[in-house]
């Protein structure tokens, strides 16, 4: 397999689900969700059947810190240029779709209808790693902006306990907008702001299967979030296996679940930046996140074809410093992801 990054301006060398099903409604209740999302379909697609390779797009690579050019964290996995699986929805991640144009730029599905208008109707499956705000601020945007832009079917959201409250609350908070648009938009909205939320059970495992992918959630250790509240995800597509760490300090469980990964997307923080923080903040950060040096050790154990650093916490260090830290510590191929980078 050839792994390369497209559109990157600064690339380095290189359980069953618990099933709280909820119709978020404004009086128009969604049809009940597919309850068999963990059942293996008989007609699974093979690598030979694909018309396009599986691609990973880092739509947002930000953190709670405000950094120019880094939207809230969000990663899209696109299989056969048709099936799109979204992992986390940070603030402003949808803006990055504009980079690909209204026809998807050969990467996302082509939904061009009105010239110059991106219609992200394909963003309807969201998997949350955990409920820290930098990973979910974009949920109202996904639900409501997607609907205004002609998505006429529900979004399904998988996430830890509390996911339902977040999604339901977003709909509740935007009732004035919903009422206004229902009464004034010149397009039909028979299936309006509806979503279906599936909360992962406290025991992780396979949370989703379709003809193209199997998605497994596994526990990671992120600060004081408990087991069943912070996840990484393993995505097995016909031609590639991708692992997304979520936010985590080093954890053996991730190494176990990431064996055989072609692309490992892992959070990171600068060792240099960390050293400049007050002692109590260093303790907090080490309990929640992974330094470049720690990540190098993790990646060596997993040995992916490509390590993609996401969610970079620079902590005051220049970007080049973080890259240099990883260059010094890790011999494998790696990249620091920027918004809109494509990996395949
Ligand atoms: Zn985060």
Q: Is 60 exceeded by the pLDDT of residue 28? A: no
- DSSP summary character for residue 103: T
Position 95 scores a pLDDT of 95
Measured CA to CA, the distance from residue 161 to residue 148 in angstroms comes to 28
Q: Which fold has domain 5-343?
A: Metallo-beta-lactamase; Chain A (3.60.15)
Kindly give the distance from the C-alpha atom of residue 104 to the centroid of ligand 1, in angstroms, as a whole number.
Answer: 27
Instruction: Kindly give the distance from the C-alpha atom of residue 45 to the centroid of ligand 1, in angstroms, as a whole number.
Output: 33
Closest to 232 measured CA to CA, from 213, 214, 212, 253: 253
The whole-number average pLDDT for the span 161-178 is: 90
Q: % helix / strand / coil in the chain, to the nearest 5?
A: 25, 25, 50
Tens digits of residue pLDDT in 171-219: 889 888 888 888 777 655 554 555 678 888 767 899 999 999 999 999 9
Q: Model pTM greater than 0.85?
A: yes
Q: Residue 12: pLDDT above 70?
A: no
How far away, in angstroms, is 313 Cα from ligand 1 center? 9
Per-residue pLDDT reduced to its tens digit, 113-128:
888 899 999 999 999 9
- Confidence class for position 311, pLDDT limits 50, 70, 90: very high
Within 13 Å and on the Cβ side, how many CA atoms surround 258?
31
Cα of 176 vs centre of ligand 1, distance in Å, is 30
- Burial class of residue 256 (count of CB atoms within 10 Å of its CB; 0-12, 13-18, 19+): exposed
Query: Where are any strands of DSSP class E within 41-98?
Result: 55-60, 74-79, 83-87
Alpha carbon of 60 to ligand 1 centroid (Å): 11
The chain-wide mean pLDDT, for the chain, equals: 87
pLDDT in the model for residue 125: 95
CA of 297 to the centre of ligand 1 (A): 21
Q: What residues are neighbours of ligand 1 (ion), with CB under 5 Å?
A: 134, 247
pLDDT in tens, 318-329: 999 999 999 999
Residue 162 confidence (pLDDT) above 50: yes
- For residue 181, what pLDDT is reported? 82
Site of tokens 């947002």: 60
Handedness of CA 147, 209, 228, 334 (dihedral sign): negative
pLDDT of residue 42: 80
Residue 36 pLDDT grade (very low, low, confident, very high; cuts 50, 70, 90): low
Lowest pLDDT segment from 3-12, 54-63, 295-304:
3-12
> What was the pLDDT predicted at 314?
97
Q: What is the pLDDT of residue 13?
A: 26
Give the start-to-end residue ranges of the domains of the chain: 5-343
The alpha carbon of 311 and the centre of ligand 1 are apart by a number of angstroms equal to: 7
């Amino acid at each position: 397999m050839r792994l390369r990054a497209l559109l990157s301006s600064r690339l380095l060398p290189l359980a069953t689900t618990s099933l709280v099903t909820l119709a978020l409604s404004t009086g128009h209740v969604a049809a009940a969700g597919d309850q068999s999302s963990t059942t293996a379909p008989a007609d699974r697609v093979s690598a030979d059947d694909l018309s396009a390779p599986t691609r990973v797009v880092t739509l947002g690579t930000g953190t709670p810190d405000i950094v120019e050019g880094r939207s809230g964290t969000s990663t899209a996995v696109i299989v056969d240029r048709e099936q799109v699986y979204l992992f986390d929805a940070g603030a402003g991640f949808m803006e990055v779709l504009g980079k690909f144009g209204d026809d998807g730029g050969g990467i996302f599905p082509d939904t061009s209808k009105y010239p110059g208008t991106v219609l992200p109707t394909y963003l309807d499956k969201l998997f949350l790693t955990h409920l820290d705000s930098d990973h979910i601020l974009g949920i109202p945007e996904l639900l409501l902006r997607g609907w205004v832009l002609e998505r006429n079917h529900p979004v399904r959201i998988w996430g830890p306990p509390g996911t339902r409250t977040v999604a339901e609350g977003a709909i509740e908070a935007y009732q004035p907008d919903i009422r206004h648009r229902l009464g004034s938009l010149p397009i039909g909205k028979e299936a309006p702001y509806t979503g279906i939320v599936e909360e992962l059970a406290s025991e992780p495992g396979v949370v989703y299967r379709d003809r193209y992918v199997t998605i497994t959630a596994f526990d990671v250790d992120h600060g004081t979030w408990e087991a069943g509240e912070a996840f990484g995800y393993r995505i097995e597509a016909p031609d590639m296996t991708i692992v997304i760490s979520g936010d985590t300090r080093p954890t053996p469980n991730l190494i176990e679940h990431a064996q055989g990964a072609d692309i490992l997307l892992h959070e990171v923080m600068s060792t240099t930046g960390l050293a400049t923080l007050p002692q109590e903040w260093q303790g907090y950060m080490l309990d929640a996140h992974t330094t470049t040096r720690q990540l190098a050790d993790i990646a060596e154990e997993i040995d992916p074809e490509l390590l993609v650093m996401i969610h970079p916490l620079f902590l005051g260090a220049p970007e080049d410093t973080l890259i240099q830290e990883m260059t010094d510590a890790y011999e494998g191929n790696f990249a620091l992801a920027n918004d809109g980078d494509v990996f395949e």
